[in-house]
Structure 1
């Protein structure tokens, strides 16, 4: 619904740089317009939820394959031209001392950062986690995370609300481009950068044990931000000796809990579930406890009730914001293979933008709509808007629009190789067609586009 406006904010720059890149590559007459760019983006959205093995199948002459909303909006050759020259910066503005490895897609990322923050009212609960943009080609910032569904790709740090709306993100560029260090390790610095717009607003942030540490929670608290995260046993400082040992918790049984507070009012919770976990928080502790249902390992068909600390319940409730974004993006992703990494990054964030707009739509209180229907409506809106603006250009013509080019149909095999009724017939077409015989290169006006001398060869099986 709001997608065309979001796209329009940066499409003028994208159109300019695409035409500039084509000119630099020797393509002088590309002349992409903003209207064509809207149609191009809409087509790519449709390709995310209607998947064909090959892109050209959307323009197939076969009735069972051809997709009219795509094929009627733009020709396949024009689509491939725009895709091959799609660019977001002028390459000649690159300076050797520029260490930004995301230079080729930086304008898009900067625009989205501002748009995501300005469009939605901030939620109280946020989570920070990593996200992967699948890519297996050669790239210096490519990462490998074995536990991810797509282990190879570009890593992105994301801060999302518990609703699944993305507020902030930062593409990881490697250890050489970490930016300012605050002494909280690389992961702690990421959290501080992603939360620098939430100072003294009493927001709650959740993260896993990759980020969590006692110094990080203290630094966030100094900024008026409450933090909660699972914590590794070697990061709880001296609290480990004050807590009950794992052996004691095991003896007490599943659901046993031990809590201690540090001098900085940070609560450390050691809780026994299927294994022992540690949780550190500046806003939650053991009380009020509730119960959680768990399966018994030995009796899989039986559930038991387990006592659960409040900090664990709060963490489980609000930690899944980034995972929710990943789930929505993975439902209808843009997965067309492309050797240019920045094109993959662009289309990934286009998918994230659609999910964000969908979340805003749901928050507005309007009639509920699932993501597929919403994405389809956005894609159609882009294509229709671009087509209407193209048709309105220039002086209105009093002559009817030119007739569409006749679709060339193949002659069925049973007709082609039958033994009767193959008589040459001269048609009244204006332009001659190329002879259907593979061995002939002439053009003819005979039906079915065959030279008189090629009839025998064409109808012999």
Structure 2
């Protein structure tokens, strides 16, 4: 009898292990399909060949009085996207411009495909497969409800996921309980920089950047407004070779130059000035780029200028050189050496405010391009900070979930920026998310064809026999699908 029990136990363990291995293989297959789709969109891009240049050896020399930069700094203008809205626009109207109904319906379509796939596994003996067999199809309305509930969970965080359906008066959320049951689950100056989406699971896409506040996660290249943090374009980093293949670039082009040209391909107004840091800057980019740009430099790279080599500068001292192609470079001494390059500035000098260790602020002489760079470079960091406000922190081993919720939050941030400009300048992020989330839930309830029974607050759910319904929220944050 004891031997039979041991054999049954060993058989059960073996079945559970096979089920777990099968789920891991499915996740890896999905990840590779996503990467292949990202790489496979190369045909939808124009072929961006590297501009031919004969200046293999760049010669830098003193800046003459007759020097003229290749480009000019863009003048202030009204963002064209703001013209699409009026002072009567609602939060949901603005959000649906960034997160359209077609995308919501597409999510519902693929969710139903996953449900059909789960039903085909009903023969499996594990409890998770048996639960999948009871799932029913969803629609765009329920997906809208799910997204609205997700935003609510961002600004109204509770200790655990199940607490949102708690019947205790001091816990739970009335809007979520009424919406879904427990078992249903262009600016004129822009900056380009890298952003990190927190992720600690296993993935070939995960990066480690010790200097970032979020040092482990999925890297996203972002082009954002220098003042408001409005995100214009983004690109998930899936590997150097994949990005190069996507735009059919030559191997001679640096990764930073490739990223700049990729993100700038969607800029409609040529009168746009871009700022980026030394990771992206190259002499070839400055000499051939079709937009005005400013960037700090890594002097160890090819053709970078050697400005007064061996000479030590005092704070505020500076020197300029140019290369005959409308590009100027400056070396400026702050607390350390700073080398910056521009194709839209000259050797104009100005002052910047620097704070000493004793707290006193003093003016320090600096190149005009340094002052401009300091004003314009913080757009992506500002977008990161806004995306981090009331962020929905839910642990997951699926990297694509983290990326999806970051893109969802970026759409919310863009909507909030437009809403502040057109409707209410004093509206906070939390107040905007409250109105948007409640509108999304109500809108989803009105258009969905699936009517679900809400949780009865007068009756505990434990031990009550209820029909298992689709677990959209549960599947979104666990490993059911």
Q: TM (normalized to structure 1)? A: 0.71
Deviation at 1:310, TM superposition (A): 0.7
- Structure 1 pair 20–200 and aligned structure 2 pair: CA distance change class (3 A): closer
Matches within 5 A, 1:251-270: 254-270=315-331
Pair 1:138-2:202 in alignment: yes
- Structure 1 pair 199–215 and aligned structure 2 pair: CA distance change class (3 A): farther
Aligned match of 1:219: 288
CA distance in 2, matches of 1:152, 1:403: 39
CA distance in 1, matches of 2:376, 2:194: 16
Aligned match of 2:256: 187
Aligned match of 1:20: 113
Does structure 1 conserve the Cα–Cα contact (< 8 Å) formed by 2:197 and 2:403? yes
CA distance in 2, matches of 1:295, 1:197: 39
CA distance in 2, matches of 1:248, 1:138: 47
3-state SS of 1:227 partner: strand
Does structure 1 conserve the Cα–Cα contact (< 8 Å) formed by 2:180 and 2:454? no
- Structure 1 pair 269–199 and aligned structure 2 pair: CA distance change class (3 A): farther
Matches within 5 A, 1:15-164: 15-26=108-119, 27=133, 29-79=135-185, 122-162=186-226, 163-164=228-229
Aligned match of 1:371: 429
Pair 1:355-2:413 in alignment: yes
CA distance in 1, matches of 2:454, 2:238: 52
Does structure 2 conserve the Cα–Cα contact (< 8 Å) formed by 1:4 and 1:382? no
Aligned match of 2:355: 295
Pair 1:306-2:357 in alignment: no
- Structure 1 pair 199–331 and aligned structure 2 pair: CA distance change class (3 A): closer
- Structure 1 pair 53–406 and aligned structure 2 pair: CA distance change class (3 A): closer
Matches within 5 A, 1:199-210: 201-210=270-279
Does structure 2 conserve the Cα–Cα contact (< 8 Å) formed by 1:22 and 1:28? no
Does structure 1 conserve the Cα–Cα contact (< 8 Å) formed by 2:200 and 2:397? no
> Deviation string for 1:32-59 (max 9, x for gaps)?
1221111110000111111122111111
CA distance in 2, matches of 1:259, 1:123: 29
Deviation at 1:205, TM superposition (A): 0.8
Aligned match of 1:97: none
- Structure 1 pair 257–365 and aligned structure 2 pair: CA distance change class (3 A): farther
Aligned match of 1:3: 95
> Deviation string for 1:301-344 (max 9, x for gaps)?
33322112110111111111111100100111121112222111
CA distance in 1, matches of 2:364, 2:342: 21
Aligned match of 2:458: 407
CA distance in 1, matches of 2:294, 2:397: 40
Does structure 2 conserve the Cα–Cα contact (< 8 Å) formed by 1:3 and 1:357? yes
CA distance in 2, matches of 1:244, 1:260: 10
Tell me whether 162-171 or 271-280 shows the greater mean CA deviation.
Answer: 162-171
> Deviation string for 1:241-285 (max 9, x for gaps)?
xx33463422xxx11111111111111010111111000000123
Q: CA RMSD in A?
A: 2.7
> Deviation string for 1:117-155 (max 9, x for gaps)?
xxxxx2211111001111111111111111112211111
Does structure 2 conserve the Cα–Cα contact (< 8 Å) formed by 1:246 and 1:276? no
Deviation at 1:198, TM superposition (A): 3.5
* Bigger relative CO (Cα 8 Å, ≥ 6 apart): 2
- Structure 1 pair 310–40 and aligned structure 2 pair: CA distance change class (3 A): same
3-state SS of 1:228 partner: strand
One of 218, 228, 240 as aligned partner of 2:294: 228
CA distance in 1, matches of 2:360, 2:454: 70
- Structure 1 pair 402–164 and aligned structure 2 pair: CA distance change class (3 A): closer
- Structure 1 pair 50–434 and aligned structure 2 pair: CA distance change class (3 A): closer
Deviation at 1:405, TM superposition (A): 4.1
Aligned length: 354
CA distance in 1, matches of 2:297, 2:463: 72
Deviation at 1:380, TM superposition (A): 0.8
Aligned match of 1:416: none
Q: TM (normalized to structure 2)? A: 0.69
Q: Which runs of 5+ in 2 are unaligned?
A: 1-90, 120-132, 466-481
